[in-house]
Structure 1
Amino acid sequence: MSSSERRLAAIMFSDIVGYTALMAESETRAIAARDRHRGVLGERATAYHGEVVDENGDELVLCFASAVDAVNCALAIQAEGLGEAVELRIGIHLGDVVFEDGRVYGDGVNLASRVRPFAEPGGLCVSEEVAHAIHNQPNVEIESIGAPPLKNVDRPVELYAVTGDALPPAGHASGERKRRARSVAALFAAAGIAACLGLVWWVVPRPTELQEKKTLPLSDRPSIAVLPFANVGNKSEEDYFADGVTEDIIATLGRFSNLVVMAWNAVRPYKATPDVSLEVSRDLNVRYLVDGSIRRSPDRVRVSVQLTEAATGVLLWSDRFDRSIDDIFVVQDEIVQGIVGSLAAEVGALEDQRALAKPTDSLSAYDYFLRGRRHLRGLTRPANLAAREMFEKAIEIDPEFAAAYAGLGWTHNYDAAYGWHTEPDRA
């Protein structure tokens, strides 16, 4: 029996520019380019926590848990290139998709496929949902290219070109985008609207116009950001625990299909910042904010948390949990239930049991897992080795801790991807 799972994911479509013409010119070169395309993207996806989920000729479909990872992966791919003057066109959308039997379906996949044609050869185009998630990333610059009509998409979607040293400028529209723009103008004229508007242009905003546009439109679904919980009364090296609890709350909330939840990478820059909730909500473009603190002792944990409406500052829910350290998973679930309960009219309480999941019964295993997850993000060989040691200790304590096995697998993937392994046969 097939099983399906619905969740939020970043979907990337990538294809080879001029592949049909290349195939007509030289079948051997075209097949070699296709194979390099598959190999490079498969390797890069693994390094950025993604995977190739489908392919059709020269087109590849990749899936990532994070929009930031998807964009960084695309940037790395375009910077590396395929050689021999072969260029890729990449599009990314962040949306609700269904995973079934190793494949991915849904409106989010359809929209991602419609975004890709608007990328420049050698470039990257993203939907407004992705732009929303990455706009605070220091290594990423975006420029709006408007909201073109997209096939089988019944709402306006603003698209953004990701620009930078290794990418083409957004101002030089590709032939396909120019053809689409002319078609749109012709449709307006036929309907008599062009006479009212005077002239229809596909306009790329100038830098000053981009600066004036402060936020992206809010989603129709309730949007929420869980800010990094403060680590109170503990040494900075214990921050991993507060960060880990925050990230797990984000992950659990992310299982509610009616919520738009900011990823950890989006909220991490606000760690240890003063209370500027309105400014933060504008930066992240969310309606609700969650913030809190954690005080940990050897056998106790105190968690204070509050949910506020960002625009008004109205406190919607708050609570303080003073429990045994072994109850940290119960506390996490109660925090999620408190948040969802306060937004029940918008979220839907029937999803509660589906979304809540306990990772392990052992706090010690969980602690090692959080340490490993933090080391894993270091992306250096020593950090990777430290992460592996932490995941192995977590598995030793709880041999059924699936997330720890996944983390251990990532350390081996990184070894192979970055050439860190010392025994190639084992990598």
Structure 2
Amino acid sequence: MSDERVQRRLAAIVAADVVGYSKMMGRDETGTLARLKALRAEFLHPKVTEYDGRIVKTTGDGTLIEFPSAVHAVSCAVDVQRGMADRNKNLPPEHQIQFRLGINVGDIIIDEDDIFGDGVNVAARLEALAEPGGISVSSRVYDYIHGRIDVLFDDLGEQAVKNIAEPVHVYRVLFSERAAAKSREETRSLPLPDRPSIAILPFVNMSGDIEQEYFADGITEDLITALSRIRWFFVIARNSCFAYKGQSPDIRDVARRLGVSYVLEGSVRKAGNRVRVTAQLIDGSSGNHVWAQRYDRDIQDIFALQDELTEMLVGAIEPEFGKAERERARAKCPDDLRAWDLCQRGLWHTYKRTRQDLVEAQRLFREAIEIDSGLARAYAAAEEAFFFQYVGGYVDTGGAAKADALRFAERAVELDGLDAFNRYALGRALTLVRRHDAAVFELRKAIELDPSFAQAHYALSMALATGGHPQEALPHIEVAMRLSPQDPYFGQFLVRKAEACLFLGRLEDAVESAERSLHEPNIQWSRWAILAAAQAHLGRLEDAHRSIDALRSLRPEIDLAFTRDYWPIADPDAISYLMEGLRKAGLPECL
């Protein structure tokens, strides 16, 4: 046997990468290399030495660093990112250098001066998940440093990463004053509503089959919808509830952050034609169980099971609710379970909102309609998927496509006008074709049917603001943000608020809301457009030009002609004011 043994040790690994390096090199290769080389020599390398670290290697725009402890690694990373922000303050955008940093603690293999192993690989994957100027760490790093360093953390949950067998639990480090303030705002307790309030966490799929994930999600969504129809309930919206998917949070923290009295959690195990659903209703203030139950049913009884769960919940939270109110929570069931199954699969894909998922969702909704042409929800869901395709820029934005979406939504309301989701879908479709008065009517009807429907309040605010009533829009966007405070698309709520403020001439408020929206995930180009227009009207032309540059990095082909045609604004004064601001900001009339 060889006397050589593989050398291993436990270390904290930092993977660093320059944001937009290829673009910078394409613009100014010599200057970029010189600036990066100077930055490493004058700032990065001394900072690493200060925290007892070792530069393992540099590869183009990448740097691999080893530290003896997680505390040293994160402390150094925070100092580096803060220092980079200071260095970039007075530099033009094209000369600014930003890092993404990923940190992991793990076993590494030493080969002369180089290191290898999963500990290194995970750090590299974490770096790719970090925001520009940000830091992502693994749960092992979090466990080592939590409470030892004066920073805050944002739990991003488990993330599937390339070439790593198991999902990695990721935390974002909040080290800037703005990020820390945002975290404190998010964790601040919300006041309880004056009626019974509840959040329903995503039911856990216990089937051991990822293909059944849609089924567990469907049970959760049906229960949210059913409870929302009871007017005396304050029900947290679907998107904020699903922000906790894949996590095991402290229920008391969930209740505090969402501002509810009760939290429902549960699981679904499906095997063949049998399904087992367990549910626990928990007091949000104490964490004590109020009620728990297990249901074993044939799959054909799934709608009766939903009704039974809803009735039990109502009885546990508000005993004086009578049979009449419980009956309102009954959803209309499709005639064919296969159609319902396809519709649930389609919704599962819809909420992922990627180009491929939305195409698959449309296919599933149309297949469901072929099986059951009376399934109203499938028509409305097809319009929902189209709307996301439209705002994402994935489909034709012409009149024919919008008319097709409108036809589907109208059919949904014809089949079931008492379903708030159907009215909401029709309202959004009408907004896109600039029939704002009709859109407002449908969206008000949706809210009348389901007062806790956050997306309907959001859609109504959009229809009002773009239809010439921005002042009336603001209360509805505030309600949407209260109903869904952890919404993954909370940034869209903020940009609707910015839009209404812009049209009202409240330019400072418009800038504030638009800037806040850009710190939320799932950024869409409209956020930069509103910000640029407001900045230009305020005379902050340098800021406005930078916002236009950011806008065009997301949508290179954009011009005023496209924006005028795309944005469903019926009020001539509002569209003129928006176009004037964008023109001042530097957006051309036509490319």
Identify which of structures 1 and 2 has the higher relative contact order when contacts are C-alpha pairs closer than 8 Å and 6+ apart. Answer: 1
Larger Rg over CA atoms = 2
Q: Which has the higher strand share?
A: 1
